[in-house]
Structure formats: structure tokens, C-alpha cells
Amino acid sequence: MNFDPITFAVIKNAMDAIVDEVAYTVLRTARSEIVKDVMDYSAAICDRHGQMVAQAKTIALHLGAIPEAMAAVRSRFSADLQPGDAVILNDPYEGGMHLPDIFMFVPFFHGGSLEGWCVVICHHTDVGGRVPGSNASDSTEIYQEGLRIPPVKLYEAGAMNPTLERLVAINVRVPERVLGDLRAQYAAAQVGVRELGRLFERYGVQTARSYLTELLDYAERLTREEIQRWPKGSFTFTDTIDDDGLAPEPIPIKATVTVHDDRVSVDYSGSAPQVRAAINSTLSYTKSCTYLSVRCALKGDIPNNAGVFRCIEVHAPEGSVLNPRMPGAVAARALTGYRVFDAMLGCLAQIVPDRIPAAGEGGNTVVCLSGRRGDGSPFIIVDMICGAWGGRPDADGIEAVTNASQNLSNTPVETLEAQHPVRIEAYEFVPDSCGAGKWRGGLALRRSYRVLSDEAFMQLRADRMKFAPYGLAGGAPGRPAVNTLISSDAESALPSKVTRWLAREDVIVHVQPGAGGFGNPLEREPERVAADVWNGKITAAYAREHHAVVVDAASGLLDAAATRELRARLRVGATV
């Protein structure tokens, strides 16, 4: 078929607009903070064969898992679907990622035939299990983590299945939020179905089918053309998780990226074996993290669809932390996914060094607080703290921003305090926490929570206490994370992963890691260093130690003469 470039561009942009409208609908109709404020959800559109042709500007780490989940849905319901149906699943061992992430697949019919799918994934506040929030890192098997859902129909011909509705409601701690978010997923998918119908009406079935197929082929061609220009060979990088929270041993994530003629293969052999705690990453999630990492190194004008995935082969040994066997626990698998992303960027920095930043904060920290209000009603806070980007080849890192592997938002303080018995005592930057470099890393965030209920159950999942975010091209690592408990009679340090009860007026303080720097710190322009001192991002002492720049601590003004003298002394090896 000869494709008209104007029509191709119109359909491509139409698909992007439709899938973003699906995502906006979730945002406007969801019930829980984790979805409508943190924005931990995703949306995509797949063609009639289940291939993802468009993805919304949502959580990229979710979307690469769709092929595995879609295969499970199509295998179970290949000939048993009608308009208005919706299939859900969350089983990590059947295409899912972890139990709080519930996939919803809504088929799109036109002219009586199945022509596509709208897919919406939401992280739900609670799906049952041994702890509120269903996201504990210290579970030891999947059966402890909550309600496990294989591919089943939640909606049939537009009506929610009452049996499944009751089953979900009785197994979760906040059923009004969970069922409300499931209804939001369905409503959003119906927006996608409606708009796809208009697109197919305008262009006809055969033309629409052909252009959707061409969108996939186009992304594949562009990806292969770019990979052909990359240096050939194998490139290895290892990054490390502190521990799994149950055993003290570090958990290495080793990635080897091999660039072939027009494709890449990624081998995770040498990574840690499956662990006892719940940070194992399912194969679908490991693949998703890998696809995203490679996509981040490609040019921005390549469509985000499954055509890119065709050029990337992933191998993760079975029984490893990146491909666990049943009944391995996986609730906190996101942490391992972030480290996969960091390890992959370490490899890609050797291939396309002008495009890859130093390590960011290492992924968000999850602080989950739960208990009961004064009236006896339950509350669950699932707060995901987003931190900082590493220094980039041509710019500083960014603070208080989503990790590059996600598209999340920090929960507003007002939202947390208005809806839950908690007070946020601090939400601020931490000076001197950035990795030094020609381009410095982003600053760490500090967030403190005071418990205002009689008691609260806390799950805190952090990392990067022992293995700080790395710098690149001579840049320094960022400052490690810190967890602290302040109670009525003591202040004590906490490990990176902890589950415990808290009393009224206890304060939990979490300091995120700072991000790594890029390039030699002595090559940073003194004016930029002085500006950071003036803005309170670093101290005058830090400027002198890491950049050999003298800044007046009181005024924040650069002392150019003293800086020239100091740098001259450094060049001849004098001690400062």
C-alpha cells in the first residue's frame, strides 16, 4: 500500500490525542490520591492483534509490560468478547507486574469485528494481603501480597459483574476507592473506544488497519536506522541495590548490552538470584524497564509503540531477581526496576555518551502509613516521593521531579493533611546533597511525617543508603539516603526498608538521595557555582571543596581573585 504522508501524520497525531484523552479522563474521575494526585497510572491503545500502537504520557515503566499481559488476555478470551466488555488482571505470573497494578483491557469493535483495545493500568490503594497498601517489601511469597486476579471479565456488555465486584470489595480495606478507580478505568477506556470509532468511520476499516500497522513498522524502521549508527560490541555495567530488607547482602543488577547491526540484545546474566523479600521483578516488568531504557537513548521523534520493542531482545535468567519463580514475592518490584534502568543507562552511556545523564535518585521512595481515624474509619496513605535527575551532558540535574523512568507527581502536602491524620513537618531541599560535576546533580528532598492518629502502621521502602547514585565522566556520586524516627524520648536511624508500628506524635523523616554529577567538577564555571551558593543549593564550603571556587558565605558573591589563586595552587598540586 502507498501511504500518504499527510494522512499518516494525521492518524499518528490522532492516536496520540486519543490515548492522552483516555489518560486525562482517568485523572478527572479517579477516587484515590495514588491515581489522581501521584498519577500512578497508564493508558495505551493496541491494534486488533494486541500490539501497542500508542501510549499516553503516563508511566512508561508500565507500558512495556502490556505485550505479556495482552498475550494472557487474548489467550483466554480470543473468541469470547463483545462490546462493553472489560477484562482485568494483576497476576504477576501471568503478564502482570505487582498486585496493586490492575490492568484493564477493553476491546474496540467496529462493524462487528474486533479492531483494537484500550488499555488502562492503575496502581490501586489496596488489594488486600497482610499489610495495608499491599506494597510491603518484607513479604516472602505472592500469597501474602493480596488479591491475585487472573484474566477475568469485570464488565460484561457494559455491566460490572456483581460477583467479582463483591469479591473485590470484601478483600480490600478501602473498597470505595478501589471500586471507584476501577470504574474510572472503565469510563476512560470508553472514551478511547468512542474516539477510535470516529477514526474508523472517517477512514474506513482497511485504511485504518493499514495505517496502524504502518505506525508500528515506521517506529521499527527508525529504531533500526538509529541503532545502525551506534558503535558495535558489548557494553556492561553493574549497579547495586543495598539489600532486600531481610538479609544484609547487596543485590547486584548486571546488564550487558550488545549492539548488533540494527538491533540490541540485553543479557542480565550475573545479576543476583531471586531473593526472599518482595523486590523480585517479574519478567514482564524487567522487559518493560529495558525497552524504556533503550527508548530514552533514541531520538525523540520515534513513535512510542511496540515497533521499538521489536528491535530489543531481553534475556533474564529464570530464578533470578529479574525473573523469579513462583511463589516469589514481587510487591516492591519497582525498586529493582529502577536499578535495571540505572544499570542500563550505565551501559548506554558507553554507547551514546552525549545523551545519557548520571544516575538520578534511584527511583521514588514509598512511604505507606495506615491506621484508623478518630471515628474508626480506615485510612491508607501511599506516598511516592520523587526526587532528582543526575547531571546531564549539557545541563544540571533537576530537583523535585519524577524519576526519568516514570511520570509521577509528589502528593501535595495539602491533600495529605486534609484527608488523613498526618502532618507534613518538612518538605524541602537538602543543601550540598548533589553530586558535584561540570553539571551538578539534582538536590535531595527531605519529607517528614508526624502521626496524628493513636497509632499507625508504616511501610517504608527506600534504597541508595549504601550505594549512592553514580556520577559520569568524572562527576561525583550524590549523597546517600537517610531514614530517621523521632519519637517522644529518642531519635534513631532506620534502615532503608522497614515495617513497624508508630505511636501518636512520632515523626518519620526521609531524605532522598541526591543525584550524581556529570563531568569534572573543576570544569564548572565559577559563576554557576556562585549562583548555587546564592540560591542555597550548596554552601560556600562545598564550593571550595568540590569546585575550588571561593564564594563569600554571607553575600553569596564570587571572589574571582581568590578563586584564580586557589585554582592555580591546585594545578601545581598544593594542598587546600
What is the distance, to the nearest Å, from the Cα of residue 421 to the centroid of all Cα atoms in its chain? 27
Q: Is the pLDDT of residue 573 over 80?
A: no
The mean pLDDT value for 270-288 works out to 97
Give the SS3 label for residue 257. strand
278-311 burial, b if ≥16 CB within 10 A, otherwise e? bbbbbbbbbbbbbbbbbbbbbeeebbbbbbbbbb
The per-residue DSSP string of 58-116 comes to S-HHHHTTHHHHHHHHHHHHTT---TT-EEEE--GGGT-SSTTEEEEEEEEEETTEEEE
Lateral strand order in the sheet of 378-385: 378-385, 365-372, 455-461, 497-503
- Domain range annotation of the chain: 5-220, 357-522, 525-571
Closest CA to 383 of 412, 425, 423, 414: 412
Give pLDDT tens digits for 392-451. 999 999 999 999 888 899 999 999 999 999 999 999 999 999 999 999 999 999 999 999
- How does residue 39 score in pLDDT terms, banded at 50, 70 and 90? very high
Under a CB-based contact definition with an 8 Å cutoff, are residues 257 and 234 in contact?
yes
Whole-number pLDDT of residue 509: 98
Torsion of CA 37, 363, 95, 347, to 10 degrees: 140
9 band by pLDDT with thresholds 50, 70 and 90: very high
CA 451 to chain centre: 27
Are the CB atoms for 452 and 504 separated by under 8 Å?
yes
Instruction: Tell me: pLDDT of 270 over 50.
Output: yes
SS3 label, residue 534: helix
Which H helix or E strand runs over 150? none
Q: In one letter, which amino acid is 367?
A: V
pLDDT at 224: 98
For residue 324, which of 289, 287, 271, 282 has the smallest C-alpha distance?
282
pLDDT at residue 60, as a whole number = 82
Q: Give the Å distances, CA to CA, from 562 to 59, 303, 524, 535.
A: 48, 51, 16, 21
Tens of pLDDT along 461-497? 999 999 999 999 999 999 999 999 999 889 999 999 9
pLDDT at 343 over 50: yes
* pLDDT of 572: 43
Among 521, 509, 512, 446, which residue's Cα sits nearest to residue 479? 512
Q: Where are the beta strands (DSSP E) in 318-431?
A: 365-372, 378-385, 422-430
pLDDT in tens, 224-251: 999 999 999 999 999 999 999 999 999 9
Q: Where are the alpha helices (DSSP H) in 407-484?
A: 413-419
From the list 23, 26, 151, the residue with the least C-alpha distance to 77 is 151
The percent of residues in the chain predicted with pLDDT above 70, rounded, is 99
In this prediction, residue 294 carries a pLDDT of 97
Residue recorded with cell 469510563: 187
> What pLDDT score does 210 carry?
97
What pairs with residue 113 in β-bridges?
110
Segment 533-565, tens digit of pLDDT: 999 999 999 999 999 999 998 888 999 999 999
φ and ψ at residue 216, rounded to 5 degrees: -65, -45
Which three-class secondary structure state does DSSP give residue 253? strand
Query: Is residue 98 very low, low, confident or very high in pLDDT (cuts 50, 70, 90)?
Result: very high
Give the pLDDT score at 569: 85
Identify the pLDDT of residue 481.
97
Query: Which pLDDT does position 576 carry in this prediction?
Result: 39
Average pLDDT value over all residues in the chain: 95
pLDDT at 151 over 70: yes
Query: pLDDT tens digits, residue range 310-323?
Result: 999 999 999 999 99
- Of the chain, the percentage scoring pLDDT greater than 90 comes to 93
Three-state DSSP string of 314-344: EECCCCECCECCCCCCCCCHHHHHHHHHHHH
Angle 257-259-261 from CA coordinates, rounded to 5°? 160
* DSSP designation for 18: H
Residue 64 has pLDDT above 70, yes or no: yes
The pLDDT assigned to 302 comes to 93
What pLDDT does 575 receive?
38
Does residue 574 have a pLDDT over 80? no
